[in-house]
Every structure is written in structure tokens, then in C-alpha cells.
Amino acid sequence: MLIRSPKGTRDILPTEVYKWHFIEKEIAKICSDYGYEEIRLPVFEHTELFQRGVGETTDVVQKEMYTFLDKAGRSITLRPEGTAGVVRSYIENGMASLPQPVRLYYNITAYRYENVQKGRYREFRQFGVEAFGSSSPSVDVEIISMLRLLLDRLGITQISLNINSIGCPICRKEYNRLLIDHLRPHLNGMCDTCKTRFEKNPLRIIDCKEENCRKITADAPALIDHICEECKLHFEELKGGLDNLEIDYCVDKRIVRGLDYYTKTVFEFVSDDIGTQGTVCGGGRYDGLVEACGGKPTHGIGFAVGMERLLMVMENQGIRISPPEGIDIFIAAVGDRAHRYAEKKVYELRREYLSAQKDLMGRSLKAQMKHANRLKARYSIVLGDKEIESGKAVLRSMESGEEKEISLGTLTDRLKMKQ
């Protein structure tokens, strides 16, 4: 084949795109219910935004970004995630002057050069939510409850919520000393990436997926056991809020998330289903990110959901998304005059927000009716010279076979009545 789609990309065909529409509709509805407004972002940003926002020691920045020089020699990167772009927009567009918290959501494509596997692509779709301006654990509870409710609305079961606290920069600085002391004797056994992280950002080593590194960190001190009093209080209030909403959770001391900007609350929803085990979605608080990107100190929290991963979980659990209904009517025509008449009638029906089609391939009448069945038409009529001259035709229900002669001038009204 001369041209193929690049590795790690895929086409979403009409035969499945309705599933995406269904989820996107549910996302838009729950965001509206919670008071979150949509933001649309550029596909690419200046590379420095992700270096400063995501973190230079992360796998995303070190290994996975699609970065290139534009014609003016500027370093540009296809967005690998959504949060950094939202933060940039929050700063650039003066959203700090708006009533706080500012609640935003996005539905984007993102790009990471990584190993392609089931449910994981190099171009992927991501839904995310961000809230700026509040330090209250109540916002953490709201964000988590929103994601919990979305999963419930989609019918997804066998999903567990795991939470943790990774503290603030102050208590994390003290913890890093403990972690470095624990890891130093094992430094030679670590992967090359973790060796570079050892001095710059040892916390990232806990997130490493390499088997040797996981063994080394298995009995490392847990950060949550060394957080300051303020962070402890925040975490206790988060747990109290989740208890109040009767949202089940487990404290997982190993969650640190894969991006540098997280502080205090981090969480993941993990699939317990044998076919899709692993993290489905996750997020956390990032109280220093806006300042790191050039804004004023601003509290923030958010989450992101990989849409491909979400669909894979739904399909594995047998959750059926109904395909779209068929068209309102198919107008079959016999002869040139009838085809012209049908062309005009279809246009008139569409102007009235009815879905109507006619043959465009020169099919026989029998083939036109087969095509009407493929389109799942609710009704059909057949037009020829006789029908045009009399102004009457037979309206047929494609489901029941019931037929009734009607005036062509009343077709629009009759179809609206039957909607």
C-alpha cells in the first residue's frame, strides 16, 4: 500500500464514531452539571511550557514529546497532555481576575512517542478537568466525585479509587533526603533514566515501571508517612469529604503520578477487571504549577481521562452503546422528473430539521428500497410521474409495512407528527 497511517495513529470510522459521540455527550453534561466550562486549546505550544510545567525529569519530556523547530527556528512541541496548555491560557487570558474557582474542561487530541499497545496510541484523545483558585480540600472532593459519577453514568463497574498525598515542596524536600539515603546503595542496579533522576528528582524513581527499579523502591520510605502537618490535615479533610459522599477509596502509598507538577492530593481510578487491569484515569492537585509557568501563585487541581482506555474498559465489560437511529424518510424516485422532484423535496425536509435522503447512484427501484433499509429509514415513499401529477403518494412504514396515501404537500407535517 502506497500510503498508510503513521504508527500509533488510527482512524475512527463512521461505524464506531457514535460511541465517541455518546461519551462526549455524557462528558459535556456532567461538566455542565458541575459548572465547568469548555476550553479549546492549540495543538502545539512552545516547548518550554512543557519543560517547565510537566517537568524536565519526566518520561514525557525526556522520551515522549514530538518536538521540532518551526521555520523561524522556534522549538515547538505537539501537546503531550492538556493541563500545561490550560495553565498557559489561564495566565495569558487574565483568568485570575475572574470569580474563583475557575472551572474548565477540555476534550483534546494529544501526542506522545511511546510503545504502541492495546488502548495506547501515539495520537490519543484525552478529556480533562481543571479548577483554579481554591486551596480547599472540598475542591479535591468535588473533582473526584465528578469522575466517580461520570464512570457510574457510563455504567462502568469494577473500578477502584486509590488516593495518596505527596505533600508540598517543603515536606517533600525533607523526604527526598530519606529517599536518597535509601536508594544510594542500589544506584548501580537502576535503569539509566532513574540514575539521572537520583539527584534531580528522586521521587520520580518510585513511578518507574522497570522491574529492577520497582524492586529497589518496594521497601522505600512512604512519602505520606513524612508529610507536614498542613498536608496531613488536607489529606484527612479529603478523606472526610469522600466518606461524607460515601465514595469508597483506598490509600495507596505508591501513587506519585508521572508528572512533576503534582502536590498534596493525587488519585487514580484503577480497573479491577482482568481484561483491562491498570490505571483508567487519574489526577491531583498542582498548587505550584501556575507560578512555575509565569503566573501568580495559584492553587489548582484536575484530572485527565484517556478516551481510548475508557472505551476499552466499557467494551470489555460488555457495556453496549446504542448505534444512532436511522433517517426519517427515504424518497425513491423513478424517472428524471421524479428525481428532480425528490431532490427538491429532500431539501425542503432538511430545512425543517428532518433527516431525508434520495438515491444518488442511479439505482433501480428495487435497489433503492434495499438502500433505504440499509439507512434504517423510518418511512419511505416512491415517486413517479403519476405521483407528481396527482400530488399524492403512499407513505410506507419501513418497520410495520403499513401504508397510507398522503398529499405530498403535507409530508413535512406528517413526519414531524410522527417524530
**Whether residue 376 is found in the same domain as residue 258:** no
**Whether residue 144 is found in the same domain as residue 32:** yes
**Whether residue 266 is found in the same domain as residue 237:** yes
Residue 116: predicted pLDDT: 81
Q: Integer distance in angstroms from the first to the last C-alpha of the chain?
A: 46
The letter for the amino acid at 29 is K
User: Has residue 202 been placed in a domain?
Assistant: no
- 368 in Cβ contact with 332 (< 8 Å): yes
Structural domain count of the chain: 2
Q: Is 80 exposed, middle or buried (0-12, 13-18, 19+ CB in 10 A)?
A: buried
**Whether residue 40 is found in the same domain as residue 69:** yes
Lowest-pLDDT range of 14-28, 78-92, 164-178, 281-295: 164-178
CB atoms closer than 10 angstroms to residue 238: 23
**Whether residue 24 is found in the same domain as residue 160:** yes
**Dihedral angle sign, alpha carbons of residues 18, 23, 25, 26:** positive
**Whether residue 387 is found in the same domain as residue 246:** no
Instruction: Annotate 259-275 with b (16+ C-beta within 10 A) or e (fewer).
Output: bbbbbbbbbbbbbeeee
* pLDDT tens for each residue of 310-336: 999 999 999 999 999 999 999 999 999
pTM equals 0.88
* Residue ranges of E strands in 319-400: 329-333, 356-358, 379-383, 392-397
Identify which of 157, 82, 189, 81 has the alpha carbon closest to the alpha carbon of residue 313.
157
User: Has residue 204 been placed in a domain?
Assistant: no
Q: Is the pLDDT of residue 40 over 70?
A: yes
User: Has residue 5 been placed in a domain?
Assistant: no
Mean pLDDT of 3-25: 94
- 344 in Cβ contact with 185 (< 8 Å): no
- 161 in Cβ contact with 283 (< 8 Å): no
**Confidence at 106, pLDDT banded by 50, 70, 90:** very high
**Whether residue 231 is found in the same domain as residue 380:** no
**Whether residue 241 is found in the same domain as residue 389:** no
**Whether residue 253 is found in the same domain as residue 366:** no
User: Has residue 195 been placed in a domain?
Assistant: no
User: Has residue 193 been placed in a domain?
Assistant: no
* pLDDT tens for each residue of 128-160: 999 999 999 999 999 999 999 999 999 999 999
Helix (H) or strand (E) holding 167: none
Q: Which domain holds residue 96?
A: 14-168+227-316
Rounded Cα distance between 249 and 243, Å, is 9
Residue 371: predicted pLDDT: 97
Mean pLDDT of 251-263: 78
Backbone angles phi, psi at 117, to 5 degrees: -150, 175
Domain boundary among 285, 316, 347: 316
The letter for the amino acid at 286 is Y
Residue 231, all three cell numbers: 498536608
The CATH code of the domain that includes 77 is 3.30.930.10
User: Has residue 270 been placed in a domain?
Assistant: yes
**Whether residue 276 is found in the same domain as residue 348:** no
**Whether residue 386 is found in the same domain as residue 241:** no
For the chain, what is the radius of gyration of the CA atoms?
28
User: Has residue 189 been placed in a domain?
Assistant: no
**Whether residue 360 is found in the same domain as residue 304:** no
